Structure 1
Amino acid sequence: LPDGAFNVLPLSNEDAGLLVTDDRIKLISFTGSAPVGWDLKRRAGKKKVVLELGGNAGVIVHGDADLAWAAERCVTGGFAYAGQTCISVQRILAERPAFAKFRDLLLAGVRKLSIGDPMDETTDLGPLIRERDAIRAEEWITAAIQDGATLLCGGKRRGPILEPTVLTGTRPDMKVNCQEIFAPVVTLEAYDDYSQALRLINESPYGLQAGVFTRDAARIFQAFEELEVGGVIAGDVPSFRIDHMPYGGVKDSGLGREGLRYAIEDMTEPRLLVMNLR
């Protein structure tokens, strides 16, 4: 690259804010929390803004799915990186006839996870980045239980390490469901009707990605048509991502798309030339 084409500027939050309002900056691309992202957009004026923000990704497990595979992938999607990705599995909905079997498979997988030092290659789940985030997640878990939820496993904290946690009997308005927990915590609920499950996934301020486990192509396309998300992953968890895919969300999850081609398009201004030569 030519000199000056790529620059890394370690800045304080206050100094970084100057870049947002500087007229020489033509586009801002931000990855982070929803409150910060939308504040940047508000301050950016006429600049183009690309936002990749938070999520509380939902998964539907229909009764015709491979339940063992779905449980295995939900364990990975919910607890890899201690749940600290914006597309970590947070809300799981299983069809009622398959609920008990799926629950048992999920809990068996969670209980096999090794908790400890992330520098140890045998560790599956390490600490959260900051202890205060582990404390916040623990408070949300406690609040859910006090409000009627049932703790199926986990829930205990030791410093910045929070045990992988599964809750059931939650409501959509509980923080463990309606906000981004960004911790190793998932909720598991039963549904009776597939359309009901789609509505429950949409009962979120976020819309990044969703996962659907079913062998029925019609249900997959119904999810693709009705779910208010940037991407639907059929047969896998919403944590699945490849860099050349378009990646981004709707609602509070952001604006624009990442992914090589799509980021380039967001950073390009189309220009038209019409030539009427005689």
Structure 2
Amino acid sequence: MSLSQWLAGKKKMSLNSPIKHTFSTQNKNLWIKCNQCNFLMYYKVLNENFKVCPKCSYHFQASSQDRIFYIFDRDSWHSFDVYLSSTDPLGFADRKLYSARLIDMKARTCLSDAVQTGIASINSISVACGIMDFRFMGGSMGSVVGEKLTRLIEKATKLQLPLIILCASGGARMQEGMLSLMQMAKISSALYKHSEASLPYFTILTSPTTGGVTASFAMLGDLIIAEPNALIAFAGRRVIEQTIKEDLPDNFQTSEYLFKHGFIDLIISRAHLRSQLSKLLYLYS
């Protein structure tokens, strides 16, 4: 083997080296660029700032586990119905079997479905809380999400607890058809009984909150709170424009637009949410 052939072989080996690939992957995960202002930050800076850009206050997507950590007193979270999961009642299939999608999502997120429910405390005030997770099939509302939230609301009513639901959803889950749409009425009915018991219910709308979730429990709160610049809608922007044959404002379907027009009550940054919820719960208690 000639020297030139040996050098060519070494170069090819170094280019295909798994060590180099691992380094580049790690480097990519260490540095994060803001989607709004392109500010480049170390991942620890973002995590320590509640996943909010320190330069422009853009709110990155947060998981349900992140929100538990950000909002509640340490070690106060007690989950319900952790292993409740869908059984693919319709045998739905598109490019992939729905049952296979569920298995994949469970492996990726370590969740049984798109919501976590439980009881926790905020500055020692006990609350029942449901936290939707967009990572699990876009936070879509299927029969399990509806069942878990209904059980949570019924438990909150029985224990005379205030209720908080954090919404992050693309709407009803099409793979479950009418069974997913039924959850809108089911959850709303449980909320009515909670309201009749004179117990407070807060909703926190994060980006995105859309479809059947917006059309039901997301907009039924005694106080409706939203994160800054959150996408909040029922139908998509293009659908509305094509229906009414008009162009919509640039900030249409944002939390700021909805606040200006009286659809939501407060816009609160994630960094201040815990302290503001504590004050609100104290006022309502």
TM-score by length of 2: 0.25
Higher relative contact order (CA 8 A, sep 6+): 1
TM-score by length of 1: 0.25
Higher CA-based Rg: 2
